[in-house]
Amino acid sequence: MEVAAAKLRDKGLTTRTAEKWESDSELLRLRGFDAAESSEPKLICRNAYPIGDVPIDFFMCEYAPKLRRLLAPTSFPNVAPVAKVVVGTPHPADHWHVLSGLFGLPIHNRGVEIELSEEPTEFPEVIQIVSDRGPIDLKGWPSRFTFV
């Protein structure tokens, strides 16, 4: 989280960090904590949010160590890894320059490319996820994956 925040600071963008804790023992067990671990609140993740105006709202998430291990790609051998995420935006030409300056688009992070769509959308949102099994088109789904 500190490295990511430092890289954003180098680009002129500061962030604020907030921790997410869970105290509900049932929800902790659903996340993979055993009964003893679920008896007291646990840190779930730390999120860093940009401060100031950004063309697309985003946040960075760092999971707690146990959840990071449980959610690692090796924990899901039958799930195809994501190769690309396509983001639609109302003003792609305007946003490309700003986002490229922040992130160096297209982004290749651990083999995942983040692409800005040339097809404008009503608001910034993930419109496609691509794995080696092919694309999953999300544009128009009632329940969208949006940046909040």
Non-local (6+) Cβ contacts of 72 within 8 A are none
Domain that holds residue 39: 2-73
Residue after which a domain boundary falls, among 54, 73, 92: 73
Calculate mean pLDDT across residues 85-112: 67
Confidence of residue 99 (pLDDT cuts 50, 70, 90): low
pTM of the model: 0.59
Rounded CA-CA distance 27/84 in Å is 31
Q: Residue 106, preceding bond cis, omega within 30 degrees?
A: yes
Given a cut of 80, whether residue 89 has pLDDT beyond it is no
Residues 132, 89 within the same domain: yes
Contacts of 136 (CB under 8 A, 6+ apart): 128, 129, 130
Domain boundary among 57, 73, 89: 73
Cα torsion 132, 138, 144, 146 to 10°: value is 60
Those residues whose C-beta lies under 8 Å from the C-beta of residue 51, and which sit 6 or more positions away, are 13, 14, 15, 16
List, edge to edge, every strand of the sheet that includes 60-63.
Answer: 14-22, 42-51, 60-63
pLDDT category, 26, cuts 50, 70, 90? very high
* 100 and 121 co-located in one domain: yes
* Percent of the chain scoring above 70 in pLDDT: 74
Rounded to whole angstroms, how far apart are CA atoms 46 and 32?
18
Specify the amino acid at residue 132. Answer: D
Whether residues 101 and 139 fall in one domain: yes
Single out the residue in 38, 73, 108 at which a domain terminates: 73
